[in-house]
Chain A
Amino acid sequence: NAGVMQNPRHLVRRRGQEARLRCSPMKGHSHVYWYRQLPEEGLKFMVYLQKENIIDESGMPKERFSAEFPKEGPSILRIQQVVRGDSAAYFCASSLRQGINTIYFGEGSWLTVV
């Protein structure tokens, strides 16, 4: 019974490149959340998706960031034209249904922009 799977675990990108982070939710989970953890800070909510729909993207930066959760396949967090300030740990979480009591986090993807 695999948990939330994120890949890559570590990603290095040069400024201006694109970063794609993938998240496979737990089996049967249709709700996905992305959080960002900047160095020495707590996690900040970015976006909440259900299959094929973005429910709440109030935490997403207005430019360069996008997220999707297609009918088939993992959820993707895409960062275009990365800058040094994008260096952070990106955590995905999933839940079976609405209700925070059922949320499970992945191990995170650490993005370093050089």
Chain B
Amino acid sequence: GDSVTQMEGPVTLSEEAFLTINCTYTATGYPSLFWYVQYPGEGLQLLLKATKADDKGSNKGFEATYRKETTSFHLEKGSVQVSDSAVYFCALSILNFGNEKLTFGTGTRLTIIP
């Protein structure tokens, strides 16, 4: 079945450091790929997405590129801020009308220290 494997956390970085959170996937078919962010005590917010190979999703300084050859969708940010502290989830979806659902990774907790 479809699955998402994320870099284990927790990850602790200093402010302004470079961030990479690895994400690889296994899917039958051609998935859309997503990164969601969950701030403490809140629900999930869509951070960025990519719907086909070589697409780059970007938002709030975060980027991720859909790499079909390596089945990866790594999240990157050049300079993190304290406000980026949250749990980040990689997810995929196979669009199949009538049976659409997201498959999530286990999440990576990121803490940024001043």
Q: Which residues of A contact B (CB under 8 A)?
A: 4, 6, 33, 35, 40-45, 48, 55-56, 59, 91, 98-101, 103, 105-108
Contact = CB atoms under 8 A, between A and B. Distances in A.
21 contacts: A4-B43, A40-B106, A42-B6, A42-B89, A42-B105, A43-B44, A48-B99, A48-B101, A56-B99, A56-B101, A91-B43, A91-B44, A99-B100, A100-B34, A100-B95, A100-B100, A101-B51, A103-B102, A107-B41, A107-B42, A107-B43
Contact of A45 (B32, B43, B102, B107): B102
Nearest to B90: A42
B32 A42 contact: no
A55 to B, nearest CB: 6
Contacts of A33: 101
Given A91-B43, A99-B95, A105-B43, A43 B100 contact: no
B77 interface: no
Counting from the closest, the 5 A-B pairs by CB-CB distance are A42-B104, A107-B43, A45-B101, A100-B93, A105-B44
Please tell me the size bucket of the interface on B. 20 to 34
Interface of B: 4, 6, 32, 34, 36, 41-46, 49, 51, 89, 93, 95, 97-107
Given A6-B43, A41-B106, 11 more contacts: A41-B107, A42-B104, A42-B106, A45-B102, A48-B99, A55-B99, A56-B101, A99-B100, A101-B49, A103-B102, A108-B42
Contacts of B42: 107-108
A106 B93 CA distance: 19
